[in-house]
Homo-oligomer: A and B are copies of this chain.
C-alpha cells in the first residue's frame, strides 16, 4: 500500500523515472504540482505532450525541429558549404550561442561507443555522407565532444571523408577563456601549448 493517495503516488513514480530525479526530489516536485494553480499545471502537461508530439528530426540535419527543414537549414543567409557535425541538439544550441558560426549543422545523435554498444550505423553518419555527396561542401567541422567516444567518432568520420577530398577540421583544444592556468588539467594545457599561435 502506498502512503499517498493513488494519483499522488503515481505522479511521484512518474517523476522518479526521469533522469537525475530521486525519491525525495520526485516527492518535492509532486507536492509542488499539487499546489500550483490548475492552469499552470495544464501548461506544464501540455508543454510535455507538445514537445514530444510536435518535435521531429529535421530531414536535412537531424536537429530537433517543429518545421521541416529546420529554421537553420532553411535560412538562405547561412553558408551551406560548411557543415558543423555535433553529437547532440544541445551542442547546436551551444555553437549558436557563440554567434560566430554561419554554416549549417549535422546532428549525429550520439557518438560511437563500443562500451555502450553504439556502432557507426546507430548514429547519423550515413545521412552525413549522403548529404556531403549530394551537396557542394567546402568544409566539415567535426565538433564531437573532446572525450574518447567523441574523438573516435571524429576519426571514423574523417577517414570516410578523406576519399571525397573535402577539408575536414576539428575544434581547437586549449585553456577556457577567463579560466585560470593553474586549474587547467595537464592534457588540456599540453594541447594548448601544442596549438600555440604567434601574436
Contacts and interface: CB of A to CB of B under 8 A. Distances in A.
Interface of A: 3-8, 10-11, 13-14, 17-21, 24-25, 27-34, 36, 38, 40-55, 64-67, 70-71, 88-90, 92-93, 96-97, 183
Contacts of A7: 47, 50-51, 54-55, 66
Given A3-B92, A10-B47, 16 more contacts: A5-B55, A5-B65, A7-B50, A8-B51, A8-B55, A11-B47, A14-B47, A18-B29, A19-B29, A20-B29, A27-B90, A31-B89, A33-B48, A34-B52, A41-B49, A45-B45
A13 B43 CA distance: 11
B11 A70 contact: no
Contact of A51 (B30, B66, B97): B30
B31 A90 contact: yes
Pick from A4, A14, A41 the residue with the most CB of B within 10 Å: A4
A41 B53 CA distance: 9
11 contacts: A5-B67, A14-B47, A17-B40, A17-B44, A19-B32, A21-B29, A27-B90, A30-B51, A31-B90, A41-B53, A44-B48
Classify the interface of chain A: helix, strand, loop or mixed.
Answer: helix
Contacts of A20: 25, 28-29
Given A20-B28, A45-B46, A47-B14, A6 B52 contact: no
Contacts of A90: 27, 31
Contacts of A65: 5
A30 B3 CA distance: 29
Contacts of A11: 47-48, 50-51
Contact of A5 (B3, B27, B70, B183): B70
A114 B46 CA distance: 37
B6 A66 contact: yes
B19 A64 contact: no
